[in-house]
Homo-oligomer: A and B are copies of this chain.
Amino acid sequence: MRPSGRKTDQMRKVSFERNVSKHAEGSCLVKFGDTHVLCTASLEDKTPPWLRNTGKGWVTAEYGMLPRATGERMKREAASGKQGGRTLEIQRLIGRSLRAVVDLEALGERQISIDCDVLQADGGTRTASITGAWLALHDCLKWMEARNMVKVERVLKDHVAAISCGIFAAQPVIDLDYLEDSAAETDANFVMTGAGGIVEIQGTAEGKPFSQDEFLTLLDLARNGIASLVDLQKQALG
């Protein structure tokens, strides 16, 4: 019934490739099926002005898509002179999601900038970004631990991962690809921790409004999917 032939609760093949960047302190190429996102974590000296002399650090994120990551070439945001609303919304979400599992005091007065660049898009780029970014962030903290700057387990309190769910052809399904996403009646994104705490919920009716029961079904699908993603993150850490 799903265009891809997947079962309603079946995610696409997910893979993580760590240390893909020669330069970045942490990096991960994450793939959810044909959605491929390159995540890098960069340790930076500067902190945002409002944190100066507070002893606290910051984790922030930027998101971008290569112009031909999509079916039709999109205008390059650098050329059009500004980041669109969707881009800003997604990068704010990534930053919030990661900060939910970071102890900013334990990080100390430093900033880690996460860049999530979509090399190829097939639905679910924001949830893949969050899930891969966690690994890049982890490896950046490992790099810092090796230099006695932080203790990873004090800074990084838990895993965080994310998945999209939606109602497609009247069926609740997990991990929508582009074909499903563009036809879904309801579209929701969930971000949760390894312990199962909810970090962020976003549900949108694309067509007709949805009911609380439908939403709870999506939440259940997401909970299972995110648990699997956290397991995969753990496997990737070896």
Contacts and interface: CB of A to CB of B under 8 A. Distances in A.
Interface stretch (A3-11, A38-46, A146-154): A38-46
A201 B219 CA distance: 12
- Which secondary structure characterizes the binding site on chain A? mixed
Contact of A66 (B73, B92, B117, B201): B117
Contacts of A64: 66, 76, 78
A182 interface: no
Query: How often does this chain occur in the complex, in copies?
Result: 6
Contacts of A44: 73
Contacts of A89: 85, 88-89, 92
A68 interface: yes
Nearest to A193: B209
A13 interface: no
A224 interface: no
Interface stretch (A17-25, A49-57, A126-134, A168-176): A17-25
A165 to B, nearest CB: 12
Contacts of A76: 62, 64, 78, 115
A204 B200 contact: yes
